[in-house]
Chains A and B, each alone.
Chain A
């Protein structure tokens, strides 16, 4: 069964450093998403991506965040200058249409 994959599973970084989180969506899906879940809190939408551009973004997705689909298979989330409060689990998701989203296993980001 096709699935969304994410790498790395755990990323540790120093405050102020740039990180790139990687995702490989399901191959025939057209919509891609990033969410985050701060420990013990609810899952929050960050951004959606369709046809090589951002479709929607939340208030959380400020100028320090960016997304890219560099090679037609990967979908990346970049955080330019990490802050302590960026520590969270980051989930990638993809969907074929716009209803059912399939989630990856997540990347745990720890900012020290």
Chain B
């Protein structure tokens, strides 16, 4: 079956540090990949996505590149801010072209990011 593995936290960084949160996946075919963010007390917000190999998703200074050869979708940001403190979830959905249909997202366990001033 499908699975997502991401580094567990908490990850604690100082403001303006470089961020990498690793995510690898197992899936058949060509899944679409996502990063969702959950701020304290809130629901899930889509941060970025990539739907095919070598695609780069980007939003709010965050980037992730779909690497099929390494089955990875690592999240990066060049300079983090205190406001980036949240839980980050990597997720996938099966390929639209292999009967993905209305399949649910498969999530990783989440990485709690803490940014200190």
Contacts and interface: CB of A to CB of B under 8 A. Distances in A.
B109 A41 contact: yes
Given A104-B43, A106-B43, A99 B49 contact: yes
Contacts of B102: 31, 33, 48-50, 55-56, 98
A65 interface: no
A91 B44 contact: yes
B22 interface: no
Interface residues of B, number: 25
Given A99-B49, A103-B44, A43 B96 contact: no
Interface of A: 31, 33, 35, 41-50, 55-56, 58, 91, 97-106
Given A44-B107, A99-B51, A103-B46, 19 more contacts: A42-B89, A42-B107, A42-B110, A43-B44, A45-B105, A47-B104, A49-B102, A50-B101, A56-B104, A91-B43, A98-B93, A98-B101, A99-B32, A100-B49, A101-B93, A101-B105, A102-B46, A103-B44, A105-B43
17 contacts: A33-B104, A43-B44, A43-B105, A43-B107, A43-B110, A50-B102, A56-B102, A58-B104, A98-B96, A98-B101, A99-B32, A99-B96, A100-B49, A102-B46, A103-B36, A103-B44, A105-B43
